[in-house]
Each structure stands twice: as structure tokens, then as C-alpha cells.
Amino acid sequence: MSISRRNALKIGMTTLGGLYAASPLSRMVFAQDAAADTFNTANGSVSVHPVSHASFVLQTPGGVIYNDPVGGAELYSQLPAADLILITHEHSDHYDVDTLNALMGENTQLLTNPAVLEMLPGELKERASAIGNGDSTEILKVGIEAIPAYNLTEERLKYHPKGRDNGYLLTVDGMRVYIAADTEATPEMRGLSDIQLAFVPMNLPYTMGVEQAAEGVADFAPAAVYPYHYKGSDIDAFEKLVNAANADIKVMRGPWYG
């Protein structure tokens, strides 16, 4: 009998999740070739599987959530199937119709920003729903609020104009997870509170530099933060700046670029 990596991951989660249940925020690696970080919630855990750049998968007590999956279904073949797919905005490193078509199972739900909903082809559009900046919904018992994601710097406004794109604030079993999407350190980001886990982008010219990202993160002070969407950026410098401002913020590393 052979155990697939997906099953191996499940077994790992069950076993280790039980062992570490007393720890409020713990980090574990389950398999060398499919690293996942797991954070305990009140009734279970949330596992983070970085896939690439802006794409990742969250295993939650209510179901499996894919964020901005692109790059072809093969990248996701070792991961559990999606119950919910979130799309933040229309750029090709966040939104890819072929990948969506391949990943949408019979019962998979698809939630996007309004602009992407309008550009989805027929069947995908029929199955999708959208929320705009400031709106909230609940799917898989996960609270979902759309946090505005946009540029602030004059020469970057063309990339992510205010009002179009979504970041997402998820409330999973009491744990607040902030997916910033492509944004600068907006007042909406800086004003967040009680965030346990955050995903924050940095790369120029599209989002922001490491200094601004670190400043924004220090302001809302998540318990843990993944730099993601950082191709070419100095995340060592990011970590130093964050921890100089607040040594309690845990900067997470993931295999975003291989």
C-alpha cells in the first residue's frame, strides 16, 4: 500500500495538531517536500501551503481555501481540492481562467472582486459571486470581509486604482487572517487590529518597497506575517525592519519561489 503525499499530510495534521493543541500559535513542518505551517485555532488548526508568488492554500476547519491560484492545476495536484477559491484582482499573477477551470470541482465556490466577476467567462461567472471593498460575507463558516487593496504613490496608481481590488480579512474559527493582495500600506491596512496571521506583498513598482511594507506591518502588528508577492525584494531587510519596530511579530518564510 502506498500513501500519497496528500494522505501523509492529513495524517501529519491530525497527529501533530493534537500534540500541539495547547500552544496558541505554533509552527510545524509536516513534510520536507510539501512544507506547511500550521497555526492552532480554538477548535482545530489552519495550515498554510505557499504555492508560488501570490498563490497559496489554507486548510481550515471549515474547508480548503485557495487564494489567487494561477500557473496550472499541476501546481496544486498534491494539495487537497478547493472548497473555496478567492480572487483578489484581475492581473495575471492572481487570476487565470485556465487554472480556475481546472480547479473548480462540483461544489467549489468562487468569490472575486466585482471587476473580475464581470470578466469571468460564462460558466465560471454563473458559479461565482463577488463582494466589493468594505462588504462582508460568510462561506464555509469563514467570515470574509473585503479590505480595499490599492496604490497610494502617484506613479503607481495605474496598477491598482482605489476601489477595484480586494484584500480579504478572514475570520476562521476565531482566528483573523489578513490577505493584503496588491496594495501599499493603506490606512485600511494600518488600522487593522487583532490579526493573528497576515500575507503582505512587496515589490516595485507594482506594490511597495520593503520599508513601507515593514512600516505598515508594524502599525497593525499581526502575530505572524508572511512576506509574499515579493519577487526580487530583500525580505531579510523586511524582517529586520519589522522586528526593530516590534520584536513580537513573527516573520514567516515560505517556498514562494522554489
* Contacts within 8 Å (CB) and 24+ apart, 247-252: 248/221, 248/223, 249/217, 249/218, 249/221, 249/222, 249/223, 249/224, 249/225, 250/25, 250/27, 250/223, 250/224, 250/225, 251/224, 251/225, 251/227, 252/27, 252/37, 252/48, 252/224, 252/225, 252/226
Cβ 158 to Zn ion, closest distance in Å?
11
Cβ 54 to Zn ion, closest distance in Å?
8
User: Residue 68, interface with Zn ion (CB under 5 A)?
Assistant: no
Cβ 151 to Zn ion, closest distance in Å?
9
Contact residue for Zn ion among 37, 68, 145, 182 (CB under 5 A): 182
- Which three three-digit cell numbers place residue 144? 470574509
Compute the distance between CA of residue 48 and CA of residue 32 in angstroms, rounded to an integer.
14
Show contacts with Zn ion in window 104-143 (CB under 5 A).
none
Nearer to Zn ion, 59 or 207 (CB): 207
Cβ 207 to Zn ion, closest distance in Å?
8
Show contacts with Zn ion in window 76-105 (CB under 5 A).
91
Which residue stretch of 9-17, 73-81, 139-147, 179-187 sits at the interface with Zn ion (rule: CB under 5 A)? 179-187
Nearer to Zn ion, 51 or 172 (CB): 51
What does the binding site for Zn ion look like in residue numbers (CB under 5 A)? Answer: 91, 182
